[in-house]
């Protein structure tokens, strides 16, 4: 245990390694961080989510209230106003979670006598029904992707179910062509910049001509299940080799402009792809392929469902997708209409035999 969480429960951290001495070293490092009061509480993406919720929603909507006079009803009306103004239920719920954690910390430090966010009714979240892409749609997307740069990037999503950050964080040293596997070890973080011009350009930091990055490019995968090897189909290995040859040609053309960081999927100058740009490329790919609109994360649902359709054992599916619990399989794997039709045929065959030899119609003699 390294401390106490904001809600008062023990803050326990778990470490793993191949040998006992390595585990001991990691535990001692955590103990040292605990004693210094510097145990990290959240990653960059988590903090980024908090920052947006506070800056965009909480301060403009609730910032004029004194904390000791804040009531649950204030929060409930605020959530309704957010959604009435066009915010999704998930966005309102993120604001609720953020203020709940913040007020919980204030309560823990005796700045408040109660946490009104634990009393207020949270925005209702209805689980979105995800419709994975059909096999024909996946094939159409992959065929269209072949005509574009970084085509293999979309195969990793649609066929293997890798998360966006995992694909964009892949380096060539993670790809083992001899064993036909790729190792998932890190995820790409969303870039964050500051002005390099002294804030004189009048633009946002990300568009400053002299912008300077203030966030690291990638972060190591946080869980043991997330650090994994994924199998590379023979066809994907061929495409990856072709992609590597094309990248070598781009490197030669870019010359000194090329940033040789070893990423599998890059810009024309070798920089890692920006997740935001990657998202817009996905939307464009859907339009060009004539496929219905869908989230990039739906590709992950599709891949896991295809593995279910192929009869791959759940344990192997969990290893490929990086799930740590069977509940994730239930969330991501979907029973499609063809699966149901196949089950219907199997039931019919078991009860009535082959198609065409169904139950006899009652004759005239039937009483």
**What pLDDT was estimated at residue 279?**
94
Between 353 and 259, residue with greater pLDDT: 259
For domain 128-185+221-355, give its CATH number from 3.30.9.100, 1.10.3720.10, 1.10.443.10, 2.60.120.10: 1.10.443.10
Q: Where are the domains of the chain?
A: 42-118, 128-185+221-355, 190-218
**What pLDDT was estimated at residue 348?**
62
Query: Cα torsion at 274, 280, 281, 282 (round to 10°)?
Result: 110
What is the rounded CA–CA span in Å between residue 334 and residue 173?
34
Cα diameter, the chain: 97
pLDDT in tens, 354-365: 655 445 555 555
- Classify 42-118 by CATH class: mainly alpha
What is the rounded CA–CA span in Å between residue 25 and residue 2?
15
**What pLDDT was estimated at residue 198?**
85
pLDDT in tens, 57-99: 999 999 999 988 999 999 999 999 999 999 988 899 999 999 9
Give me the phi and psi of 345, to 5 degrees please.
Answer: -65, -40
Total number of residues shown for the chain: 367
pLDDT greater than 90 at residue 252: yes
- Exposure string for 277-304, b = 16+ CB within 10 A, e = fewer: ebeebbeebbeebebeebebebbbbbbb
- Exposure string for 165-204, b = 16+ CB within 10 A, e = fewer: bbbbbbbeebbeeeeeebbbbbbbbebebebeeeeeeeee
Strand order of the β-sheet with 181-184 is: 175-176, 181-184, 228-231
Of 88-92, 114-118, 239-243, 335-339, which gets the smallest average pLDDT?
335-339
171 - beta bridge partners?
263
The single residue listed with the structure tokens 């759940």 is 314
């Amino acid at each position: 245990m390294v401390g106490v969480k904001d809600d008062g429960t023990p803050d326990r951290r778990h470490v793993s390694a191949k040998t006992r001495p390595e585990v001991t070293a990691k535990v001692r490092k955590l103990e040292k961080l605990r004693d210094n009061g510097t145990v990290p509480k959240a990653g960059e993406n988590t903090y980024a989510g908090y920052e947006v919720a506070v800056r965009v929603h909480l301060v403009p909507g609730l910032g004029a209230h004194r904390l000791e006079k804040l009531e649950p009803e204030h929060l409930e009306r605020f959530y309704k106003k957010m959604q009435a103004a066009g915010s999704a239920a998930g966005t309102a719920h993120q604001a609720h979670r953020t203020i709940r954690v913040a007020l919980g910390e204030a309560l823990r430090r005796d700045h408040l006598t109660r946490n009104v966010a634990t009393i207020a009714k949270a925005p209702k979240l209805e689980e979105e029904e995800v419709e994975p892409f059909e096999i024909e749609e996946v094939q159409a997307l992959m065929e269209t992707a072949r005509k574009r740069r970084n085509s293999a990037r979309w195969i990793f999503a649609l066929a293997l179910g890798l998360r966006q950050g995992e694909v964009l964080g892949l380096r060539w040293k993670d790809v083992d062509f001899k064993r036909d596997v790729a190792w998932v070890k890190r995820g790409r973080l969303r870039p964050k910049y500051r002005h390099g011009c002294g804030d004189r350009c009048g633009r946002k930091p990300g568009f400053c001509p002299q912008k300077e990055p203030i966030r690291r490019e990638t972060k190591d995968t946080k869980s043991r299940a997330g650090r994994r090897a994924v199998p590379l189909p023979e066809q994907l290995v061929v495409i990856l080799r072709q992609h590597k040859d094309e990248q070598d040609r781009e490197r030669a053309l870019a010359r000194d402009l090329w940033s040789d960081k070893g990423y599998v999927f890059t810009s024309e100058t070798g920089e890692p792809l920006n997740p935001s740009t990657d998202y817009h490329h996905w939307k464009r790919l859907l339009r060009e392929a004539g496929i219905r609109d869908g989230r990039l994360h739906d590709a992950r649902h599709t891949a896991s469902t295809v593995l279910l359709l192929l009869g791959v054992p759940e344990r192997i599916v969990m290893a490929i997708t990086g799930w740590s619990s069977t509940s994730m399989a239930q969330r991501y794997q979907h029973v499609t209409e063809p699966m149901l039709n196949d089950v219907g045929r199997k039931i019919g065959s078991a009860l009535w035999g082959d198609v065409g030899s169904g139950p006899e119609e009652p004759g005239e003699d039937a009483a």
